[in-house]
Amino acid sequence: MLARVKHRLSPLAQPVRLLQNYPRRTLRADVMAGATVGIVLLPQALAFSLLAGLPPEMGLYSAIMAAIVGALWGSSSHLHSGPTNTAAILTLSVLLPIAAPGSPEFVAAAGLVAVMAGVMRLLMGLAGLGMLVNFVSDSVAVGFTAGAGLLIISNQIEPILRLDLPGDGGLLSTLLGTATLASNAHLPSLILGLATMALLLVLPRLTPKLPAVLLAVVAVSIVAWGLSLERSGVAVLGPLPQTLPPLAQLPLLDLDLIGQLANGALALALIGLVEAMAIARAVASHSRQRLDSNQEFVGQGLANIAAGLFSGYPCSGSFNRSALSYQSGAQSALGNVFSGLFVAAAIFLLGPLIAHLPRAVLAGALVITAYSMVDIKSMRRIWRGSRNDAAIMAVTLLATLLLPLQFAVLIGVLMSLGAYLLRTSAPRVQLVLPDDEFRHWVARPEKPACPELAVVEVMGDLYFGAVNYVEERIYDILNAQPQQRFLLLRMHSVNQIDYTGIRALENIMRFCRERGGDLYFIRMREPVWERMRATGFADALGQDHFLDEDTAISFLFHRKIDPAVCIYECEVRAWHECQNLPKRSAPINGLIPLSSVRQPPSTPVISAAALWQELRGQAPPLVIDVREPREFRQGHIPNALLMPLPELLTGDATAPIDRPLVLVCRSGRRSSRAAAHLAQHGYTDLRILNGGMLAWEAAHLLEAVET
């Protein structure tokens, strides 16, 4: 128990492992990469805090704490944690129903929801639930990201035009308010915003290795300062407190507020984790680093807890800063630690300059950043692909634009889970036959099926949600051929089975046996076999009903399938084993269906050993072999009379009625038909060789008599 607890708490010791194994030769590269990322982080932290409706200094505090803590406790060497546009817009959406943006209540709620989301992420990481991010599909992520990007763009209209828009900040109210108040737009602010956007579109092409955001913000801000546009009414950030992140006074015991923020915190936790892990994996595909999703959950959780406790707001992983960290040559997670330290130093060194940054400039930078979130290429691919994925993406996008973001996320996740359940609850169940070379199993709906044996492939797990569909589909296949008594299930695509699946197989087994047939399996996977064995199903069915794929058809053909059907009734040559069987195309009058034959007590069976003893006695019975001539020539009981079943049924061959008769065929099925026919015509002294010639040969009596 103690060892298990230590294993669960092991992710908390990640900084110790990082520093113990840190090579000093990489320090210079990490410091340079950290400074480069910090230059980009600084303006982004300010812009994203404004996007969330929070004071600019909260963005700086979040940038410092999240970058340092997220790097020390994460698993990726390049994933950069801190303020992001998605986290900011999601935070604004969660907090708007709670308080007015910028108010003390709004600020306190921002820190509290960061701590709540961080605790959720931390607990999921410690519990080993890193796989949960897989339940948010790419369709949800693409739709949500595109919707969030459009919302970010709409929310920058107000600072770029310097309008006081009414409403709740939603897309529709923003557009309606802008249309109404557009004539009051502040022209200098609009020019600054447009100039920033233009530079951000041009600079990456001219100077791809330099931080375009920083260059654009600094260049346009210098122009604004040189033209004294602040005096003309251009809004600026204002003075920032030159202090390290202070400990926040959070309402940690306000249960009513915690209840109001719970859904939003869960959405922030899930979306933040999905965003961070997607970014970490994207960078790791280039760096070839192995990631630990549970460790990353812990890192993201602690980063948000630290940001919330030290006057910040919810954070996540940033794609552009993570990519910049990798491109700048960072060798370890300490590179991102240095980026947080760079921002901390900038608060004291650059604070007076940051105070004069025009808000319209930061808004223009956010517009271009948000536009890059709309991944049109991926949206087109999803739209041209699966209808389910396209529907999920479209609904998530619309919900993001029209509903609070936490509900949009949950709607997308629920739709993804619903689509998954629909797919898994209706796995493909198909009748298969050998191909023309008898090498592979394929679905051949154009070819007639064997009237006695159905081979069915189940392409999915047999769990409670799929069992009813699979069972009904198998019944449909069998009912389409009422004479099919034997069912062979190919199970190689069934990875898991629950108790409900076992019960369904028991029902199918009873159905086949009531028809006079049986159920068999091939290609069984070990977990499925273990569940069948543990529940007693394997014993109830019989261990000999689990066959080898290479010999299954041969076994069923020679031991179970009625050759009379193959020779006298069936023109289908489904199996390799029946290709050389003699076929009689003419109809046979009086052929009794095997399904209607029931062995009466007056027609007993005789074992191979007992028949051998009687044949050596003083008054041996007459053995009548009802097989085909070719079978008879390949081996028969000495002194047996050949009377093929068709000739016996049509009267072309007549057995003596005054002698005891023993009817013989390959396995006993044709003998049963012959006995039923003879019993209808007054024969009373009848017996059947139990197991037919197969039993005779298995007892080595064929060789013993002949020698």
Identity of the residue numbered 205: R
pLDDT of 480 > 60? The answer is: yes
pLDDT for 303 equals 96
pLDDT of 553 > 50? The answer is: yes
pLDDT for 476 equals 92
Cα-Cα-Cα-Cα dihedral of 681, 684, 685, 686, to 10°?
Answer: 60
Helix (H) or strand (E) holding 140: helix 138-155
pLDDT of 666 > 60? The answer is: yes
* CATH superfamily to which 428-568 belongs: STAS domain (3.30.750.24)
Which of 38-42, 375-379, 480-484, 489-493 is most confident? 489-493
- Coil, strand or helix at 575: coil
pLDDT for 501 equals 93
Taking residues 26-33, report their average pLDDT: 86
- Coil, strand or helix at 649: helix
Six-digit token pair at 653?
A: 């061959």
Instruction: For residue range 458-471, list pLDDT tens digits in order.
Output: 999 998 889 999 99
pLDDT of 704 > 60? The answer is: no
Closest to 431 (Cα-Cα) out of 574, 576, 593:
574
Instruction: For residue range 104-158, list pLDDT tens digits in order.
Output: 999 999 999 999 999 999 999 888 877 666 666 778 778 877 887 787 788 788 8
pLDDT for 586 equals 45
- For 594-706, the fitting CATH number among 3.40.250.10, 2.160.10.10, 3.30.1330.200, 3.50.7.10 is 3.40.250.10
Give residue 599's pLDDT band: very low, low, confident or very high (50, 70, 90): very low
Taking residues 68-93, report their average pLDDT: 90
pLDDT for 60 equals 92
pLDDT for 642 equals 93
pLDDT for 502 equals 95
Q: Name the more confident of 561 and 245.
A: 245
pLDDT for 510 equals 94
pLDDT for 420 equals 77
The domain limits of the chain are: 2-161+176-243+256-412, 428-568, 594-706
Catalytic annotation on 450?
no
Instruction: For residue range 434-447, list pLDDT tens digits in order.
Output: 888 888 888 888 88
Please give the share of the chain, as a percent, with pLDDT higher than 90: 29
pLDDT of 166 > 80? The answer is: no
pLDDT for 522 equals 94
Give residue 168's pLDDT band: very low, low, confident or very high (50, 70, 90): low
Taking residues 597-623, report their average pLDDT: 81
pLDDT for 511 equals 93
- Coil, strand or helix at 625: strand
pLDDT for 650 equals 79
Helices (H), 560-635: 563-564, 608-615, 629-634
Taking residues 694-706, report their average pLDDT: 73
Instruction: For residue range 245-256, list pLDDT tens digits in order.
Output: 999 999 998 999
Phi, psi at 462, each rounded to 5°: -100, 75
Give residue 587's pLDDT band: very low, low, confident or very high (50, 70, 90): very low
pLDDT of 644 > 60? The answer is: yes
Instruction: For residue range 194-239, list pLDDT tens digits in order.
Output: 998 999 888 888 877 776 777 888 888 888 888 888 888 888 877 7
Helix (H) or strand (E) holding 317: strand 316-318
Q: Of how many residues is the chain composed?
A: 707
Give residue 583's pLDDT band: very low, low, confident or very high (50, 70, 90): low
pLDDT for 58 equals 93
pLDDT of 98 > 50? The answer is: yes
Q: What is the mean pLDDT of the chain?
A: 84
pLDDT for 595 equals 47
pLDDT of 349 > 90? The answer is: no
Helix (H) or strand (E) holding 508: helix 499-514
Q: Name the more confident of 584 and 683.
A: 683
Taking residues 344-359, report their average pLDDT: 82
Are residues 546 and 529 in contact, defined by beta-carbon separation less than 8 angstroms?
yes
Cβ contacts of 575-584, under 8 Å, gap ≥ 24: 575/434, 575/438, 575/450, 575/453, 576/434, 576/438, 577/553, 582/628, 582/630, 584/646
Output Rg (C-alpha) for the chain, integer angstroms: 39
> Which is catalytic among the residues 315, 512, 566, 665?
665
